[in-house]
Amino acid sequence: MNLPGVKVLHDEAAIAARVGELGTRITRDYQGKELVVVGVLKGSFMFFADLVRAIDLPISIDFLGVASYGGNTKSSGVVQLTSDLSHPITGKHVLLVEDIVDTGLTMRYLLDNLATRHPASLAVCSLLEKPARMRVPIEIVYLGFSIPDEFVVGYGLDHAQKYRNLGFLGILEGAV
Ligand code: XMP
Ligand code: MG
């Protein structure tokens, strides 16, 4: 798909290569452990689907829904859990999978929330991070790409719910 106003940042091949590398590292790091891979909806859905196929372990999967309120292209840090996990994570190794860590406020909220359930471990895998906008430090153990301060769409990420079905990551020109 070629769209006016969307400039390719990372194409399908670059994404697939990076996701494969992350899957290999995760497979090695969680050998012999009971791993639950948790996707944060909706933005992570495409990354999540590719990532879990690159993990060669008997994992289980679960999802969280969050809504963060604010303007269209800026998140406010006011986060609401719109859908919770379907199973307890107490004593399990949890890998939280996000599309993007921007200010870090959403991830901070999710990590604090999940930590109260006493998982055996809790780590973050994010497809993207925007270091220029970071407000709270988040340790992203498994990172896809660091990106400039631009609004990114595609490969699950949206602008007003559109563009999620693009197979590549693109910059929405004129959005920031
Ligand atoms: P924070 O600031 O809490 O933001 O780390 C995380 C959430 O903000 C959204 N976000 C984006 N969504 N393109 C998007 O489609 C972007 O460039 C972008 N920057 C932030 C996203 O929902 C993420 O979960
Ligand atoms: Mg999101």
pLDDT digits (tens, 9 = 90+) for 128-151: 999 999 999 999 999 999 999 999
Q: Which residue from 48, 102, 140 has its CB within 8 A of the most atoms of ligand 1, so it is best to mutate?
A: 102
**pTM for the structure as a whole:** 0.94
pLDDT of amino acid 124: 98
Q: What's the CATH architecture for 14-151?
A: 3-Layer(aba) Sandwich (3.40)
Q: Which residues line the pocket of ligand 1, CB cutoff 6 A? A: 43, 68, 75, 77, 98-107, 151-153, 157-158
| pLDDT class of 176 with cuts at 50, 70, 90 | low
% of the chain with per-residue pLDDT over 90: 88
Catalytic center residues = 102
Q: Taking all residues of the chain, what is their mean pLDDT, rounded to a whole number?
A: 94
Ligand 2 centroid to 29 CA: how many Å? 26
CA triplet 6, 7, 11: central angle to 5 degrees? 110
Question: Tokens standing for 18?
Answer: 């990076």
Q: What is the pLDDT of residues 68-115, one digit of tens each?
A: 765 555 666 678 899 999 999 999 999 999 999 999 999 999 999 999
Q: Whose CA is nearest to atom 24 of ligand 1?
A: 100
Ligand 2 centroid to 42 CA: how many Å? 6
Q: What is the largest CA-CA distance in the chain?
A: 48
Helix ranges restricted to H, 6-115: 12-29, 45-53, 105-115
> Which of 57, 50, 5 is closest to 27 using CA atoms?
57
Judged by its nearest atom, the ligand closest to the C-alpha of residue 74 is: 1
